Structure 1
Amino acid sequence: MADSRIDFTAEWIPSKKEQKNSKRENPIQVRITKAVLETGETELLVSNLEESKFSTEDLVTLYGMRWGVEEGIKNLKPRIKVEQFGCRKPVGIYQEFYAHILAMNMVALTGMAAGKEIKKKNAKRKLTYKYNWKNTFLHLRAKIVKLFIRECVVKILDNLIIKVALNLVAVKKGRKFPRKDTDEPTRVNQYYK
């Protein structure tokens, strides 16, 4: 941050812990780009993208586009507890991981299916609303086994869509939250299932 340049290349030397984890001791050439946000905050974007191929504006645009990916990771890690496997063997870990991905996709599909009901509820409201991911996951988790072993799948799905449409969250455009500078761990739950 102290460097006055907006876009420059620097040498990053991994710390002892990073060297141990990544088994990489050599310094790495990284591109550092400063992006000024609408709030006036300056973000440091660190990448290995070449200046000749990606302009500063391109990196700022990419930074904004990453939000959907970060939200997906936020759902995957602490909410589904994807890092907390009940198995020790690789085959079991793969099965659990793919089951988590299936659950995430089913939540998204359920939210999309509830879209028509949500749209009806939004018709007379000032704000736009969307389905609540966490509540949708909880409702789906309670019914997921029944979806695969029962013949009345349509009835279960219709009931699930009604429940999802009842738990909405407001979508506020331009909503920003200040970042907190803290040394506290960011992991929500460190306990095994």
Structure 2
Amino acid sequence: MFSKYSIAPTIYLMDRNYPSLKKMIDIPLAGNSYVIRCKSVFCPEVVDFVNPNEEDAILTLKITNKRIHNTFFKTLSKVPDEVQTRVVRILFPTREYEYLLTNTDFTIEELAYLYQLRWRVEGYYCVLKEKMQLENFSSKTVEGVKQDFFVKILTSNIASLLIADAQSQLDQEQKVSNKYAYQINQNVALGIIKNEIITLLMNQSLNMEPDS
């Protein structure tokens, strides 16, 4: 019933605002896997799992008329009678228990590691939305919005490369000259790159022919 990551093309890692019966149907139908954090009161079946303090169980979620009414099943040609999913309890560093739904057979330790991988993605969303102001468009036309979007993504990618390179050089210098570990100020660096991106891209010295 459950699939190892070695045969699953994609593993969807989702926070606790995303669990739904439809996702637990759609994702496996496409041959993929999911790891979804859910609230302890997500559904009655999860509540029943939480109360006895179990760590790992297979749940059978009946697709009742009420659930069909409250969930978007419009894209399914046939709604199944039930959905089976696995639920595990994870102890986070905060000493709080969280609950993950999945259709994989990873160990609890592997699932905890997988779920933590999404934090870098969340961090990048923060960069795009807050620092790059991705949703602050200068145009109201379709093409203008697309241009704004792709320019900011390109600028963010270039900034990430430059900041990583600068941090690597700084780390090397600090090994021999300083006992303190300094970090590149990403906010300042990003602001400079945003303002100088046109000059940077137009710099002819960056367009050198590769060595033959």
Normalising TM by the smaller chain, what interval?
Answer: 0.5 to 0.7
1:68 aligns with 2:68: no
C-alpha separation between the residues in 2 aligned to 1:98 and 1:118? 31
Pick closer, same or farther for the CA change 1:122–1:130 going to 2, 3 Å: farther
Structure 2 partner of 1:45: 100
- The normalised TM-score by structure 2 is 0.54
Q: Which runs of 5+ in 1 are unaligned?
A: 155-193
Q: 1:15: Cα distance to partner? A: 10
Pick closer, same or farther for the CA change 1:59–1:106 going to 2, 3 Å: same
1:128 aligns with 2:177: no
- For 1:35-184, what aligned pairs fall within 5 Å after superposition? 35-46=90-101, 49-51=102-104, 53-114=105-166, 115-121=168-174, 123-151=176-204
- Structure 1 contact 6–33 (Cα < 8 Å) conserved: yes
Q: Which runs of 5+ in 2 are unaligned?
A: 1-39, 41-46, 208-212
- Structure 2 contact 89–99 (Cα < 8 Å) conserved: yes
Q: 1:7: Cα distance to partner? A: 3.1
Q: 1:41: Cα distance to partner? A: 2.0
Pick closer, same or farther for the CA change 1:95–1:10 going to 2, 3 Å: farther
Pick closer, same or farther for the CA change 1:43–1:96 going to 2, 3 Å: same
Q: 1:148: Cα distance to partner? A: 2.7
Q: 1:136: Cα distance to partner? A: 1.1
Measured against aligned partners, the alpha-carbon deviations of 1:86-118 in whole angstroms (never above 9, x if no partner) come to 333433322222111111111111113312134
C-alpha separation between the residues in 2 aligned to 1:15 and 1:96? 39
For these two proteins, the number of residue pairs brought into alignment is 146
- The normalised TM-score by structure 1 is 0.59
Question: For 1:45, what is the secondary structure of its paired residue?
Answer: strand
Larger radius of gyration: 2
Kindly, what percent of the aligned residue pairs are identical? 23
Pick closer, same or farther for the CA change 1:45–1:125 going to 2, 3 Å: farther
Q: 1:85: Cα distance to partner? A: 2.5
- Structure 1 contact 35–60 (Cα < 8 Å) conserved: yes
